[in-house]
Each structure stands twice: as structure tokens, then as C-alpha cells.
Chains A and B, each alone.
Chain A
Amino acid sequence: MTVTTREATDVHSLLLRITGDEKHAPSAHSTLDVLWVLYDRILRIGPETVEAPDRDRFLLSKGHGPAAYYAVLAAKGFFPPSWLDDVGGPHSRLGHHPDRVLVPGVEIGTGSLGHGLGLAVGVALGLRAQGYSNTRTFVLLGDAELDEGSNHEAIAYAAAVGLPFTAIVIDNRSATHGWPGGIAARFIGWTASIVDGRDHDELAHALSRRDRERPHVVVAAVARKGD
């Protein structure tokens, strides 16, 4: 497979090629900037290293609205842009929720909310147990996804054992009952950065932050869903 790497400006045109994800369109775009910054400036991973045991891991927990994720992966050459033309089609590898078995570079299959954070804790523990001390683990959630109680098992445990990895919460204020007091306040025992989810430099700075003995949460605020 020959795939060319495209520049950031092409991500938007790649996103437009995706026609099968109208249902989740607003949430898809809420993740675009943070995903681009991750794959362009933070993660040590590329099409050649998708199987490397010491690659950085990015887990998309919020599997809804993966259009931006697919567009970024295509732009970075993980699969051909032509795949974007048939999202959700009967013969497509790209569904409305990503499947790690079908898509190169996708670390976990998600869709049901509240699974990625626990898996990320396991990935971080597994990498540490095997001595990959320079490998980083990231997981991206939505603010509404935090409603799921399974997240809070992972949040409390990661803090208790001081597990170094990074959770990103895209906050487009889509949780039905909101998070009075803010999202970072739910991550007791973590270090936290609250940033503009559209500002690439702010995102890069927050995502580069790394405490070897504590988990880190980056709350990336974007416009309210539906605005």
C-alpha cells in the first residue's frame, strides 16, 4: 500500500470526503484539533510503527463521531484517503465507530462509552511491566462519556497508584446534567491542564506535560455541542 503524508490543511478536505457519519457530525469535529496535535506533534507513532511494541499509544475511548480521527489517520498515511469515501458502507473498514481489527493505527475498538479509560490503565500498566518506560499512553474521552461509572473506577485507581498516563477530555458541555465545579475536579489526585481545545500550541504544551508518578488530565474546552 502506498500512501502519501498530507499536510494539516488537507485534513479538512479529507474530513469532507467522509459522508457516512452525519449522525455524529458535531462531536466529530470537536476532536479534530486535539487529534491533529497528537498525531502531528506528540505521538511517536506512524504507519511504519503500528505494530512496534514500544510505540506510543493513543486510545479513542469516545468512539462516536470518528470522522476527524479517520481524517487525521488518513492524512498521516495510516490508510489510503480513498477509504474515507465509503464510511459505514458494507465493504468499508471504517464504521461509525472504529474497529481496531479493521483499521491500521486504531488501538481499540470503541463505541459503547466508558471502556477506553480502563483499557488505557491496563495498557499503561502492561507497558510499564515490560519496561517500556519511555512509551506514553493517551486516551480521549468526551465530557458526556464521564457519566459512565466505569470511568470513575479508573480515575480513582490511577490516582491511587500514581500511574503515569494522560487522559484527554473533550469538553463540549454535552453531558445532560453537566459537571458543576468543572471536569478537572473529578480527577482527584491527577495533575490537570485546562486548555482551549482549538489552540494547537496550548494543546501541545498540555499534552507534553509529563509527571512520572501521577496521571495527567487535559480538559480541552470547545464550543458547546449544537452551538
Chain B
Amino acid sequence: MRDTFVTSATALLADDPRTAMVLADISAAAFEPARRRHPDRVINVGIREQLMVGVAGGLALTGMRPFLHSYAPFLVDRAYEQIKLDLGHQDVGAVLVSVGGSYDGSAEGYTHQSPGDVQLLDTLDGWTVHVPGHPDEVPALLRAAAGHDDRVYVRLSEQHNNRAYPIEPALTVVRRGTDGAPVVLAVGPMLDPVLAAAADMDVTVAVTTTPRPLDAAGLRSLVGRDVVMVEPYLAGTSSARVSAALAGLPHRALHLGVGRAEQRAYGTPADHARLHGLDPAGLRRSISGFLSGVI
């Protein structure tokens, strides 16, 4: 997805003089051809993430459309106050594009992981969050984000589905169960593990690449009683949104995602998916347990 991002963003920089790319060394080499063509609009501030966000705020104050990019923990966790004040409080926007997600950097350790990025942004107002599930979904997301001034977070990951789905604000039903069947809503790259886990279950499976704002009306119209939310970041991140979407309806909800406890283990992303119960076997255990009333 990072390669797709670089290609798409490079094209946007060529097409739209309002766009700018602000980097903090990460991916700077990949953007070097774009920097040579647009030296005033491709800005690498060095390993200075607070400045990266501050610069983006300043660019936006002059009417430009800044894109920012780094590993999720450095972009969001580290520069949280700049995101809150240099963008939100100034009433300006930017497009934050992260890589690494929750545990792409499984072998790098916890310093390079950000399971809490979306939850951090949930403390702030006005953020649209995109979690593409396939590289082919990325260009349309970026192009749409370049066309306005709102605050957008695009969470890129090496984990992805086998195929791309349409990029829409509304959630997309991928597999329909019998009438009133439990609904499993997967965010972005969690779709394929969910489909594998629920292959022989009578459930409706839906996917969203835009968990913020969550398609509350779509979820409300889909859910009969049981809903399972499967997210590639902290478990329960969307619990308040799901609860609000289903307010007044009797329902049961299960929220699956990355655990809060630090694993202190290396290995591959697949190992971490297993440790957090987000591999097909783990998801199957949790979902079938929930549906049979065990949990």
C-alpha cells in the first residue's frame, strides 16, 4: 500500500498545485523524484514529527492542502497535541497518511506499533478515518481527500484482502446470511480473516473502509440483534459508535480487535494476529462463542 500511496500522491502533487507533502524522513527517498519536481511542496523536515504537523498546520493556514506521512506511532501518538492544536484548534485540515498500523512492525517491537491511533483521533472532532483493505482502494481515497479541506486520516497497512471493494462512506455487504442473522462488520483488512472464520456460519458479513464517520444508518438497518465488530486496531475502539448507532434497539454486541496489553513478542504480523485472536481460528472461536452464548 505504501508504494501505491507514493505513486498516487506523486500524481496528485503534479495535478494540483494546492497539495503539499510533509515528511519526517520516513519514505523521503521514495518521494525524492516528486521533491525534485516540486521543491517548494515536498518538504522533508527531518526526524521532527511535531514540526511535521506544525508545518502542515501552517501550510493549511495559507490555503494549501497538506498531506503528512510517517509510521502511525510517530505520526499520531507522538504528535497528538500538534494534531489537536495545530490542525483542529486552528480550524484547518490535513491528510494524515500512516503506515505500520497496529503490528506491521511486529519484529520491530512496540515502539513501532500504534494500536491506539484511531482511538486517539476519536478524542478529537471532525476526523474522517479511512482504513483501506487493498492497495487498489488507496488512489481514490487520496484523490478524494485532496479535493476538500477537512481532516482525514488514512491508515495504510501491509495486511490486506485478496480483492478491493468500492470506496464508499456506506458499509458494503459482502455476504448475506438468513433474515435477522448476526452481522459481522469488518474494518478494512479484517475482512478476509472474517470471511475465513465465518465461512460456514449463518452470518451477514459487511466491510467498511471508512469507520469514521461510521455508517450508523447502514449498521442500524442491517442489524437484527447480534453484531460483531472486528477492527484492526484496539478492540472496542468503535464500541461507543456502534452503541449510538443501535441506540434504542435491543442488541448484543461483541467488539474484537487488538488487545491493550503489550505482547513483548516479535515474529511476523501473522504471529501477532494470532496472539490477539485476530487470525481466522481466533476470530472463529470468539464469534462462535459469542453467538452460542458462551461469552
Instruction: List residues of A whose CB falls within 8 A of some B CB.
Output: 53, 99-101, 107-109, 112, 115, 117-130, 149-150, 153-154, 156-157, 160
Q: How far is the CB of B266 from chain A (nearest CB, A)?
A: 30
Shortest Cβ distance from B97 into chain A, in angstroms?
Answer: 17
B51 touches A120 (CB 8 A): no
Residue of A115, A124, A127 with most chain B CB atoms under a 10 A cut-off? A115
Give Cα A107–Cα B92 distance, bound, in whole angstroms: 12
- Counting CB contacts under 8 A, is B20 at the interface? yes
Beyond A100-B91, A101-B91, A129-B20, whether A121 also contacts B55 by CB under 8 A is yes
The CA of A146 and the CA of B57, in the complex, are separated in Å by 20
A119 near B61 with CB under 8 A, answer yes
**B48 touches which of A112, A119, A120, A153 (Cβ 8 Å):** A153
For A120, the closest partner residue in chain B by CB is: B58
Give the residue name and chain of the A residue nearest to B51 (CB).
Answer: A153
A129 and B40: CB pair below 8 A?
A: yes
Tell me, in angstroms, the Cα distance from A53 to B53 when the chains sit together: 22
Q: In the bound complex, what is the Cα–Cα distance between A126 and B21 (angstroms)?
A: 11
**Other-chain residue from B40, B41, B51 in contact with A150 (beta carbon distance below 8 A):** B51
Number of chain B residues close to chain A: CB under 8 A? 29
Instruction: Say whether B143 faces chain A, with CB atoms less than 8 Å apart.
Output: no
**If A115-B85, A153-B50 touch, does A122 touch B63 (CB 8 Å cutoff)?**
no
**How far, in angstroms, from A115 to B60 measured CA to CA in the complex?**
15
Chain A residues lying within 8 Å of B58, measured Cβ to Cβ, are 118-126
Besides A117-B54, A119-B58, A125-B20, 8 more A-B contacts (Cβ < 8 Å) are A109-B90, A123-B62, A125-B59, A126-B61, A126-B62, A129-B40, A150-B50, A153-B45
B287 at the interface (CB under 8 A from A): no
Interface residues of B (CB under 8 A from A): 20, 40-41, 43, 45-46, 48, 50-51, 53-64, 66, 81-82, 85-86, 89-91
- Check B43–A125 contact: CB distance below 8 A: yes
Min CB–CB distance B284 → chain A (angstroms): 47
Shortest A89–chain B CB gap in Å is: 20
Closest to B88 in A: A109
Q: Would you mind naming 11 contact pairs between A and B with Cβ atoms under 8 Å apart?
A: A100-B90, A115-B82, A118-B57, A119-B57, A124-B58, A125-B59, A126-B60, A126-B61, A129-B64, A153-B48, A153-B51
In the complex, how many angstroms separate the beta carbon of B72 from the nearest chain A beta carbon? Answer: 20
Return the chain B residue nearest A108 by Cβ.
Answer: B90
Q: Which of B40, B48, B82, B85 contacts A125 (CB 8 A)?
A: B40
Give min CB distance, B105 to chain A, whole Å: 23
Q: Are B85 and A157 within 8 A (Cβ)? A: no
For residue A156, which residues in chain B have a CB less than 8 angstroms away from its CB? 46, 48
**Cα-based distance from A46 to B86 in the complex (angstroms):** 24
Q: How far is the CA of A128 from the CA of B55 in the complex (A)?
A: 13
Q: Cβ of A125: which chain B residues have Cβ within 8 Å of it?
A: 20, 40, 43, 55, 58-59
Q: In the docked arrangement, what's the CA distance between A111 and B275, Å? A: 43
Closest to A101 in B: B91
| Contact indicator B90/A119 (Cβ below 8 Å) | yes
Would A122 and B48 count as touching, CB distance under 8 A? no
Are B48's CB and A121's CB within 8 A? no
Q: How far is the CB of A3 from chain B (nearest CB, A)?
A: 24
CB neighbours of B20 from chain A (8 A): 125-126, 129
Chain B contacts for A120, CB-based, 8 A: 58
Does A118 contact B40, Cβ atoms closer than 8 Å?
Answer: no
